[in-house]
Amino acid sequence: MLKVLNIAHGELLMLGGYASVWAFGALGMDPFVSFVIVIPSLFLFGLALDRTVYRHIVRLAGEDKIKSSLLVSFGLALVIQSLAIWLFSADERTIQVSYASRSLSLWGVSLPYTRLASFLISLIVALALHRLLHHTDFGKAILATAQDWEAAELVGIDIQRVYKITFALGAALAGAAGTLVSVTYGVSPGVGIIWTLKALIVVVLAGTGSILGAFPAGLLLGLMEALGGAWIGPSYRELIGLAVFLLVLVVRPQGLFGGRN
């Protein structure tokens, strides 16, 4: 929304996953309950990053903002990866809950409870974020700042507050996503770049700033990767998303849901 390209977003997801793994192992906390720890922790971490790193970038214009945020976040990603290796080692960690093997059979299709819960939580979060942006004063302040921060400041919007809360909220949502990833896939220090690429593909498919469009775009990407993995082999499933990414950039650069927020 604020046109900052945060390459380290996947590393925030990774930290959220590790936080859930720690809560499960040390406290015996169910991963879907560990949101009460993960989301506030990543929110505070996002605030710290904004105040120390990103606050100097958001006021830049156009290409300078993109280039600076790209370089700074790339360096930050390397730092977080190294910190994760030091703290947790390079081994992949997963959360094996007691109901991981249970599933719901619907019209002959088996839906694991963990993935079904992840789907429902993602849908609720997407709808809540859309409502925040379009039906609250703070959400409208975010949209106004994203459109023209100078004009927003002239009409009395505290854009510094908007920037820091928006970035912290993004970090908190990344942490929540990390919890879902730790249950269904697993986390390791190097997993961040994989999910950052998926996020960028979803953004392009949906169209920049399209909150509701990101949800069906994510489902579409997952479906294409699953079908591609079944047809041409699991080792090539990531290439399917990249191919669609390039195709959409060429044919419809505004995204499949461009203009819809």
- Contact between residue 125 and residue 172 where contact means Cβ atoms under 8 Å apart: no
Q: CB count, 10 Å around CB of 177?
A: 25
Separation CA 47–CA 44 (nearest Å) = 5
Q: Evaluate if residue 261 carries a pLDDT over 60.
A: no
SS3 190: coil
In DSSP notation, 206-219 reads H-TT-HHHHHHHHH
pTM recorded for the entire structure: 0.86
19-49 tens-digit pLDDT: 999 999 889 899 999 999 999 999 999 999 9
Strands (E), the chain: 103-106, 109-112
- Give the rounded percent of residues in the chain with a pLDDT score beyond 90: 32
Separation CA 109–CA 119 (nearest Å) = 15
Helices (H), 136-236: 137-147, 149-154, 159-184, 192-206, 211-232
142-159 tens-digit pLDDT: 988 888 878 888 988 888
105-144 tens-digit pLDDT: 777 778 888 889 999 999 999 899 989 988 999 999 998 8
